[in-house]
Amino acid sequence: MSRTALVVSAHLDDAVLSRGGTIAALTSRGARVVVVTVFAGCAGDPMPPYAEQYHTWWREACPAIGESAAAGMRLRRDEDLRACAVLGAEPVHLDFLEALYRRGPGGSPRCAAGDDLFSPPGPDDLALAEAVAAELGAWISRLAPDEVHAPAAIGGHLDHVLTAQGCATALREVADGPRARWYEDLPYALEQPRHRPAAAEPLTDDDWRRKIEAAAAYRSQHPMLWDDDWPDQLLAHARAAGGDSPAERHWDAAPPPDGDH
């Protein structure tokens, strides 16, 4: 019987950037891979000012992204559909809003500046993590996967931390549940290379080629994340993980609350 793997992604690109080679390897061996992106909801307008700034950056690379929050998310979802098609994975987009768009009870933006994206979770965030856990628990029950790949929250991005917490809670509530593999988050791990020893899955040349082809689908995100040599940056990191041949890292233990393995 073919295996089923659930890959959980905080945003519309995280799973492919961080775990795309492993996804390619799984599907090439006949496994069913479902990629669930947690923070893929379409926000309303007007957007918080800091979200407006992000949309300005995205439009520089992809003018078709449009002016509204909903139009931007629709285009980003389309990018994810194309990326997952390259890898042979099934995309699922949940409707939680990412931190850029979230507001507090009084209407103030959750993130007014870049540092807020990496701030500790507050009470509203922790309540959101519980809702994420419930939704992910439903998907685990529905799919009965053999393994779950979840972000380790390397770098401490708020949405990654909430996703990791939600995954950990959901997995604890499943008796004799699937094996969890907590993957390192890229591109954040490029800047924070000092982690505890991790396992590394070796990738074939074809696995790597498909990962890079899939990652290229996220055109709107590239200017914000990378220089033009981003494939070389990813390959150098993957070769460091794999001892010259490319590999992707993971941990078997759930991450601590700050994601610092």
Amino acid residing at 154:
I
Q: What percent of the chain has pLDDT over 90?
A: 77
Establish if 261 belongs to a structural domain: no
Q: Supply the pTM of this predicted model.
A: 0.95
**Per DSSP, which regions of 188-246 are E strands?**
199-202
Residue 135 corresponds to which tokens in the numbers above? 């939704």
Mean pLDDT on 151-169: 96
Total number of domains constituting the chain: 1
Q: What percent of the chain has pLDDT over 70?
A: 96
What span, in angstroms and rounded, lies between the C-alpha atoms of 97 and 172? 24
Please write down the long-range contacts of 45-48, taking CB distance under 8 Å and 24 or more positions apart: 45/69, 45/70, 47/100, 47/101, 48/100, 48/101, 48/103, 48/109, 48/110, 48/111, 48/112
Name the burial class of residue 28, with classes exposed (0-12), middle (13-18) and buried (19+) by CB atoms within 10 angstroms of its CB.
Answer: middle
Instruction: Find residue 151's DSSP bridge partners.
Output: 183
Establish if 148 belongs to a structural domain: yes
Establish if 48 belongs to a structural domain: yes
Establish if 210 belongs to a structural domain: yes
Question: Which residues form the domain of 26?
Answer: 4-251
**Residue, of 261 and 78, whose pLDDT is higher:** 78
Establish if 222 belongs to a structural domain: yes
Whether omega for the bond prior to residue 187 falls within 30 degrees of 0, making it cis, is yes
pLDDT tens-place string over residues 37-53? 999 999 999 999 999 99
Establish if 259 belongs to a structural domain: no
Mean pLDDT on 191-197: 68
Establish if 256 belongs to a structural domain: no
Mean pLDDT on 135-155: 97
In CATH, what number is assigned to the domain containing residue 78? Answer: 3.40.50.10320
Establish if 257 belongs to a structural domain: no
The closest alpha carbon to 83, from 206, 182, 225, 210, belongs to: 210
